[in-house]
């Protein structure tokens, strides 16, 4: 009986120890990690963009992001993305930017459709 209880306690302890890592991996798969920026394009330059990033519990932040010849651009909703170019990245566009590990350079810029163009009844009501 005591051995069974001890094994149970070790198992519960292991689950508690590894649960945060598993939850973090889940967030990373969904793109909610430090190497993804969501926001609205404020400026577009020859080798950079500036994105206004809004966070729930913090004021909006302007994030300069470098681009280069290896930066991939896609347009359209997830699952229906089409290859694009930097010409598709325009001021005011909503974007999801996947960044290099240091968080400074865009690996991929996904230009999202305007809110009213989304499929599946996800449109937000006008304010």
Q: Tell whether pTM > 0.75.
A: no
26/86 Cα distance (integer angstroms): 30
pLDDT in tens, 1-15: 666 666 566 666 556
CATH architecture assigned to 36-117? Beta Barrel (2.40)
pLDDT digit string, tens, across residues 51-106: 999 888 889 999 999 999 999 999 998 888 999 999 999 999 999 999 999 999 99
């Amino acid at each position: 009986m005591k051995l069974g209880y001890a094994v149970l306690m070790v198992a519960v302890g292991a689950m508690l120890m590894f649960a945060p890592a598993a939850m973090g991996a889940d967030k990373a798969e969904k793109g909610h990690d430090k190497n993804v920026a969501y926001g609205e394009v404020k400026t577009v330059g020859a080798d950079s963009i500036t994105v206004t990033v809004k966070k729930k519990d913090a004021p909006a932040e302007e994030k300069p992001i470098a681009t280069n010849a290896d930066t991939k651009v896609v347009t359209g909703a997830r699952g229906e993305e089409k290859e694009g170019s930097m010409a598709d990245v325009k001021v005011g566009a909503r974007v999801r930017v996947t960044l290099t590990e240091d968080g400074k350079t865009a690996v991929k810029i996904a230009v999202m459709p305007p809110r009213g163009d989304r499929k599946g009844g996800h449109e937000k009501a006008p304010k």
